[in-house]
Amino acid sequence: MKHIDLFERYKTKINKDFRSKRLYLFVFILIFTGCSKDGGYGPYNLKNGQEVEVSVSHRYGAVNDDLLLVPKNRPAEMSLYYFEDREPGFIYRVKAKMVAPEEPPQDGPSYYLTYIKTLDKKKYEGTESFELELIQTYIPGGPMIVLSKENGKYLFSSGIQLTYKDTNIENQLAEIWKNSEEVRHNATYPKWKSIRVTVSHDPDYFGKAYLIHGLKLTE
């Protein structure tokens, strides 16, 4: 009987401890949930609707076309939407607003920045080259070649013209365009996994075109 009594007391203690821990866990979850609802989004804990200033690079559509939060110039790590007046070759400082939809789209980000207005615009005076990626993946749809052709001119995203001064590059673009047409008409995948294009701002068509210096096609 004494052994049974000790066992019952031990079991009662375990149950009390379990209930206490479960209560603490429940309170912790409530606090954490409340903080998540009232807190911000992204690496800098921005509030929904919060306005910020962002630096936009001259490399429109490039692989390293990063947004920087002003004044510390930290990578924003999110997209900027509805900046329709943006031109390649210019560095902008813009005001933007944080948006976190209650029901994010399945094929879109859970939070992003929307353009409000331009605060400053400066022409880029450098000559550095940068890279574009001509194969981009869309959901739904899969990988696509981001290249179009109008009136004999090759165009990148947002209508930026791709110019060249080398017949080898011209031949490569023709091959890429041919495969792009096949992908569109036959609902197939591109021939290559990656098409990296090294470019700089074309001084003859500044703000409208990128001059191609090299193409790297990876199968």
Whole-angstrom CA distances from 13 to 2, 6, 7, 179 are: 17, 11, 10, 73
Which of residues 92, 123, 154 is at a domain's end? 123
Range of the domain at 68: 51-123
Q: Are residues 69 and 105 in the same domain?
A: yes
Can you give the pLDDT at residue 38? 53
Judge whether 208 lies within some domain.
Answer: yes
Which of residues 102, 123, 144 is at a domain's end? 123
Q: Is the separation of the CB atoms in 175 and 210 below 8 Å? A: no
| Cα–Cα dist 75/83, whole Å | 18
Q: Are residues 159 and 116 in the same domain?
A: no
Whole-angstrom CA distances from 81 to 96, 118, 142, 200 are: 9, 13, 22, 24
Cβ atoms < 10 Å from Cβ of 39: 11
Whole-angstrom CA distances from 22 to 32, 33, 45, 146, 185 are: 15, 16, 30, 54, 60
pTM above threshold 0.75: yes
Can you give the pLDDT at residue 166? 95
Can you give the pLDDT at residue 139? 73
Q: Are residues 111 and 135 in the same domain?
A: no
Can you give the pLDDT at residue 108? 81
CA geometry: angle at 59 spanning 54 and 65, to 5°? 60
Using alpha carbons, select from 173, 117, 115 the residue that is nearest to residue 149: 173
Residue 165 per-residue DSSP state = S
Using alpha carbons, select from 164, 149, 160 the residue that is nearest to residue 207: 160
| Cα–Cα dist 60/79, whole Å | 13
Residue located via tokens 């041919």? 178
Q: Are residues 102 and 137 in the same domain?
A: no
Residue 12 per-residue DSSP state = H
Cβ atoms < 10 Å from Cβ of 88: 24
Judge whether 6 lies within some domain.
Answer: no
pLDDT per position in the chain (219 positions), as tens? 444 443 344 344 444 444 444 444 443 333 333 334 457 888 899 999 999 999 999 999 999 898 999 999 999 999 999 999 999 999 999 999 999 998 888 778 899 999 999 999 999 999 999 999 999 988 777 899 999 999 999 999 889 999 999 999 999 999 999 999 999 999 899 999 999 999 999 999 999 999 999 999 999
Q: Are residues 149 and 104 in the same domain?
A: no
